[in-house]
Structure 1
Amino acid sequence: MKEVNPTETSRAYAFEMWMNAPMPMVTFFKTLDVSRLIKISRKTGMKFNMLMCYCIGKAASAVKEFYMLPVGDKLMQYDSIAVNTIVANKGGEVSSCDIPFCDDLSKFNQSYLQLTRQVAESCANHDLAESMVIGTSALTRYEIDGAVGMYSGIFNNPFLIWGRYKRRLLKTTLTISFQFHHTQMDGAHASCFLDGLQKEIDKLSY
């Protein structure tokens, strides 16, 4: 992770326009076809949430804007991406767990299982400060049509939220919300990421 001069990056105009905006976050909604993830989860025993996190990391890693993030009043550049998941811990509360993204699904799955188990038992967050972290929150017990994340003014990280998937006659769908800081990316970049996410889901194999 290193600080970069915004004027020397492709985000120069966005940094000037949005860094001091009172509400610089943008939220997109998209309904995904997650039938393939359901099939793989049932076949292999892999967790659906893990597969979603993997596909999110995979799609994000192909969009260069994900490797930059406004932090405080600076623009930071990262060499790696992590995907965060919220874990129910043994104390009956929730803890935060950052999982380093790895292109190898088996290795990512191992990290996911190990780290979420560690966080659940210790009730201590696992943070990766040196990675650009994509937040996620899965409210899988509930059917929701969408959610707009809170802008704290402290964390500018991109964030995805989803609820329970919906079974249809021929496919299973999942509506997600994607919140991002306008300094980090524009709508076209966000749309490219969401299209990429669907493509990664569709071609995932194991």
Structure 2
Amino acid sequence: MAREINPNDTTRAMAFELWMKATNPMVTVFKTLDVTNLIKMSRKKNMKFNMLLDYCIGKAAAGVKEFYLLPVGDKLMQYDTIAVNTIVMNKNGEVNSCDILYAGDFRKFYRDYMKYTAQVAKTCQDRDLSVESMVIGTSAIVETELDGVVGMNSGIFHNPFLFWGKYRKKWFRYELPISFQFHHTQMDGAHAGRFLENLQNEINRIK
């Protein structure tokens, strides 16, 4: 569920004043992740790499309270839940959007991911949870290696967003450069840094 809150009752009051009407309030940071553990788990258990990474993204975000806030229009909204979005290639060779609720249970996330991405691919209809959940966007351009992506400021959608390309093999490890874009009203660089550290930790410990 989402509800409007008074920014002055939150730690984001000053950021709300500074950034809500800024020409470009979006910030993009870059980090190279060690995804060796995800590659091994993907191959061993025959699970999709992007599903595993999306789960880790949800779990890492759940540990940073700022992810439960989001500027929507000219309001600051607070959410009770987080969802992770993934882009799905549909049966017509086009793309659709699919939101997966993060609830902390890996088996449930896995089942939901497989069920709803297949459903979206078949029906060519987006699955949108943005009314009730704060949605983290993701986009994987797996055809090529990327050093980074700078997203756009649409002025409409202020959701945090992660981009990545093809992972790289470096000796006996695998690396994945990612770009993380967020609205400065929602969080500061320190919060983004904590999330990215959480993400690396969740990647290392998932099994």
Distance 2:80 2:146 in 1: 34
Q: Is 1:159 the equivalent of 2:161?
A: yes
Q: Aligned AA for 1:183?
A: T
Q: Could you list the per-position Cα deviations for residues 91-126 of structure 1 after superposition, in whole angstroms to 9, with x for gaps in the alignment?
A: 111000000012111110000000000000000100
Whole-angstrom CA distance in 2 between matches of 1:9 and 1:29: 27
Give the Cα–Cα distance (whole angstroms) in 2 for the partners of residues 92 and 170 of structure 1. 35
Aligned to 1:132, what secondary structure does the other structure show?
Answer: strand
Distance 1:70 1:79 in 2: 15
Deviations along 1:131-178, whole A, 9 cap, x unmatched?
A: 000000011111111101111000000000000000111210000000
**Structure 1: any 5+ residue segments left out of the alignment?**
none
Structure 1 counterpart of 2:190, from 172, 175, 188: 188
- The residue type paired with residue 57 of structure 1 is G
Structure 1 residues 6-85: aligned runs within 5 Å: 6-85=7-86
Distance 1:45 1:106 in 2: 14
Counterpart amino acid of residue 38 in structure 2: L
Q: Distance in 1 between matches of 2:18 and 2:152?
A: 21
Find the counterpart in structure 1 of residue 110 from structure 2.
Answer: 109
Give SS of 2:54's match: helix
| Alignment counterpart, residue 150 of structure 1, candidates 149, 152, 164 | 152
SS at match of 2:136: strand
Distance 2:103 2:33 in 1: 22
Q: What is the CA deviation profile of residues 47-70 of structure 1, one whole-angstrom value per residue up to 9, with x for unaligned ones?
A: 000000000000000000000000
Q: Which runs of 5+ in 2 are unaligned?
A: none
Matched residue SS, 2:17: helix
Output the CA distance in 1 between the equivalents of 2:205 and 2:118: 28
Q: Distance in 2 between matches of 1:61 and 1:204?
A: 15
Pick which of 56-65 and 140-149 moved more: 140-149
Task: Give the AA of the match of 1:71.
Answer: V
- Please list every run of at least 4 consecutive aligned residues from structure 1 whose deviation after the TM superposition is greater than 2 angstroms: none
Q: 1:198 aligns with which of 194, 197, 200?
A: 200
TM-score normalized by the length of structure 1? 0.99
Cα RMSD of the aligned pairs, angstroms, is: 0.5
Identify the range of structure 1 (90-99 vs 156-165) with the bigger mean alpha-carbon deviation. Answer: 90-99
**Normalising by structure 2, what TM-score?**
0.98
Instruction: Tell me the number of residue pairs that the alignment of Structure 1 and Structure 2 aligns.
Output: 205
Distance in 2 between the 1:106 and 1:78 partners?
23
Match of 1:171 in 2: 173
**Matched residue SS, 1:111:** helix
Instruction: Please tell me the residue identity of whatever aligns with 2:196.
Output: L
Amino acid at match of 2:150: V
Counterpart CA distance in 2 for 1:103 and 1:118 is 22
Q: How far apart, in 1, do the equivalents of 2:47 and 2:152 lie?
A: 30
